[in-house]
Structures are given as C-alpha cells and as structure tokens.
Structure 1
Amino acid sequence: MKLHVITDGKKTNEELTNILRSIHPYVDRIHIREKEKTARELAQLLEQILKSGVPANKLIVNDRVDVAQAFSVRGVQLAFHSLDVQLVKRAFPRLEIGCSVHSIKEAAYAEKNGADFLLYGHIFTTSSKLGQQPRGIDNLKVMVENSFVPIIGIGGITPENSKEIGETGASGIAVMSGILDSINPVEMAKKYRESYSGYVEGGEK
C-alpha cells in the first residue's frame, strides 16, 4: 500500500518543512493542503519545502493547479469545488490527478474523466468530522471493487486499524494528524508502514 500524508494548515512554514524533511523517506505522497494560504504564500511554502530536500515527485498540491504546475510537483488533489478533472487533465496532462470522492457516482465520474487515483472517506470516526457518520470498511470495499484506479482510504486511520484498509484491496491510506501531530513523526510514519506490511505491498492497481 501507499502512505499519503496530508498537511493540516495549522503549522508554520518552518515547523511543517522540518517535519516533511524528516518523514519523506518513509511516505509515498505528501499532500500540501493549506486552504488559508494565498497562491503567493503557498508558493513560498513549496519553495522552502523543495529546498529542504523533499522530492518534487512526492508532492501533491491541493486544489491549486497553477501552483502545482509552476513548481513541477507530482500532481494535484481536486475536491468537488475544484476545477473539473477533465479540464485539468486536458490542460495539464503531466500532472497526476487525485480526486476526493464520497460515493460510487462521484468516483465513476472522476475515473471516467481522467483521475489517476481517488481519495475516499472518512472511513473511521475522526475528530475532524465530529458528528458525521463514517463511511466504514464495507463501503470502502465496494468502492475498490467498482473502480479501476487506485483508491486511498482516509479518515480516522491508525496503525491499529490500517490493516483493515489493506484487506479491502485499497491501494493506500492517507493520514493527517496521526503523523503530523505526533511527538515523533518519523517513528509514527514508520509505524504506519509496518502496520500494513503484507497487504497490497506496492499498492498500485
């Protein structure tokens, strides 16, 4: 499986850069999800991250296709409110495109129109979605069975329950606070990787 880490917009550029520089050898994708930053601020952050030694081919920028293209990072993560995946794929064929989806219908549309992978959740109860019913393992399995592109599970995933994700045939997990808010992010990243060892190793469908 692939391990995706998603930033939370709560850390200073220096704090975030230091964490990402230390964990990048142990993760497969790093999503820069900084909703409150302007394009200029996001560019400054990316420049700092890249200068620290984090490889561009591990970086995914959320929503801001222009910034992703300008810095030649691996790809972009699109949400429902973002530019349409078909438009982005046509205009920026080099970029790997992930789409956040919440149903089979949304997944089918994104897949048909050029998405390279899908982020689906939230799978388990999580503090970032208080009061919202998790979609659960069974729905994740249905998503996997009905998709021809990699499905990445997100939401409330811990080292203890990540094996359940692997058992569905999903291609990976996405983690935010579980790693970034840990006292020791490097050790936690290693722990996540070790926890699903043996399940869909290598991940890509």
Structure 2
Amino acid sequence: MIMYMYKENRNSDILCITNRKLCREDFITRMRKIAAAHPAAVVVREKELLEKEYMELAEKILNICREQETVCILHSFPEAALELGCDSLHLPLPVLMKMEPGKRQSFRVLGASCHSVEDAVLAEKLGCTYITAGHIFDTDCKKGLPGRGLDFLKNVCAGVSVPVYAIGGISPANISKVREAGAAGACVMSGLMVCEDPEDYLQEFKRQE
C-alpha cells in the first residue's frame, strides 16, 4: 500500500487519479464524494495546468482530503506540494530523475510513473515508496496503443520491492487479474470521475477480493 494511510483508507487498494474534464458534475463536488468514499489515495493529476493554477486547485482538494482523512498525493510540482504542506508527491520518471536527492527526501510518499521493468528499478533506486505501471489494458485514454498486459505487470512487480499500482483500463471486471499479477492495487481515473456513486463503485472493487 501507500507508505502510510489513515485508518479509513486501509480497506481500499484503489488510487483515484483526477481528471476534472471527465466530470459530469462540479469537480469539487465530485472530489468531496470521492474523498468521503476513502480510496487508498487521491492523486491530483490535472497535468495541463500551469503551476499557479494547479496549486490553487490542489489546495482545495488537499483540504477536502484532510477533512475526510484520505491521503492526497500531488502531481508534477514539488515546490507547490511543499508550499502546501503536502509530503506526498507523484512525478513522471524523467522529472524525478532531475530532482535533487535532498528534495526527494522531503516526501514521505513518493511515486513515479513507470513503463518498463527498467523504469521501475530506477524509480525504486531514486527513493520511490510506490510506483504506477502501465498501461496494462487497452483504454480510451491511450487510443491506438495496445496495453502492455498482465505479463508486463508481473515482471514489474517481481523486479521491485516497493508496491506497484497498475494503471490503464482497470475496472471491477479485471481487478482480480491485476491483484493476482502481484500488484498492490490499481489506479482508476475515468470510472471514478463519471460513476453515479463513488462509494458504491469502490465497493465493486472490494467485492472482487
């Protein structure tokens, strides 16, 4: 699991990856519902925003997650995370590689996006406490690019000692295969952004255990 969690989060192995453009309702309203449903963590992605815009949005979501005692992981902007008092950060691997060791050590939870076993091994060496690996299954988010599959996921999980979260096309229908491959859990974006009830949706994943 993520390196540390509030007690309410331990019943979920799903990381919520945000994408406000997919929401069918007010994004902050949706984030309140998701945080209250207690996924393993909320990763505030929104990668097309400039740092100032991102920081303004991240502060709102961070406060919501703190109220609900749900882990919040910020994305892409280390300085913004530090200024907001957030010690959980996710980075693309190339960005992580350029980050100074002292700054990496400022984060209790540090994750990176990995697309090969070599990526995963490097991320672990750079101090990551977890990684995401993908994309695993075909997904509309990566149209035209076939998923790397479960064998890829197994190899990544076998290659590192930190928790691996699968990403890409994960749903309640295939989460058991992801777990069987050795993953600590999975990342879900579109499902949690558009489902009718985030709590019910997370329970669907739980029922597949």
- What are structure 1's unaligned runs of at least 5 residues? 198-205
- Distance change (3 Å), C-alpha of 1:167 and 1:68: same
CA offset digits 1:16-74 (Å, max 9, x no partner): 221221122330111111122222222221232244x3227611111111111111224
How far apart, in 1, do the equivalents of 2:194 and 2:152 lie? 28
Question: Could you say which residue in structure 2 is the equivalent of 1:38?
Answer: 50
Verify: 1:23 aligned to 2:34, yes or no. Answer: yes
Question: Could you say which residue in structure 1 is the equivalent of 2:17?
Answer: 6
- What are structure 2's unaligned runs of at least 5 residues? 1-11
Question: Could you say which residue in structure 2 is the equivalent of 1:203?
Answer: none
- Give how far 1:133 is off: 1.5
Query: For the Cα contact (< 8 Å) 2:136–2:169, is it kept in 1?
Result: yes
How far apart, in 2, do the equivalents of 1:65 and 1:32 lie? 13
Identity across matched positions, percent: 30
Pairwise mapping of residues 168-183 of structure 1 onto structure 2 (< 5 A)?
168-183=181-196
Query: For the Cα contact (< 8 Å) 1:23–1:189, is it kept in 2?
Result: no
Q: Secondary structure at the match of 1:84?
A: helix
How far apart, in 1, do the equivalents of 2:128 and 2:62 lie? 25
Pairwise mapping of residues 95-114 of structure 1 onto structure 2 (< 5 A)?
95=107, 96-114=109-127
Query: For the Cα contact (< 8 Å) 2:104–2:127, is it kept in 1?
Result: no
Q: Which runs of 4+ in 1 moved over 6 A?
A: none
Question: Could you say which residue in structure 1 is the equivalent of 2:5?
Answer: none
The range that moved more, 68-77 or 158-167, is 68-77
Give the total of aligned pairs: 193
Query: For the Cα contact (< 8 Å) 2:58–2:74, is it kept in 1?
Result: no
Q: Secondary structure at the match of 2:207?
A: helix
Aligned CA RMSD, in angstroms, stands at: 2.1
State the TM-score, normalizing by the size of structure 2: 0.84
Q: Secondary structure at the match of 1:30?
A: strand
- Give how far 1:184 is off: 2.4
Query: For the Cα contact (< 8 Å) 1:78–1:85, is it kept in 2?
Result: no
Q: Give the counterpart letter for 2:51 in structure 1.
A: A
- Give how far 1:162 is off: 0.3
Q: Give the counterpart letter for 2:187 in structure 1.
A: A
Pairwise mapping of residues 1-205 of structure 1 onto structure 2 (< 5 A)?
2-10=13-21, 15-24=26-35, 25-51=37-63, 53-55=64-66, 58-84=71-97, 87=100, 89-95=101-107, 96-195=109-208, 197=209
Q: Give the counterpart letter for 2:59 in structure 1.
A: E
How far apart, in 2, do the equivalents of 1:68 and 1:118 lie? 18
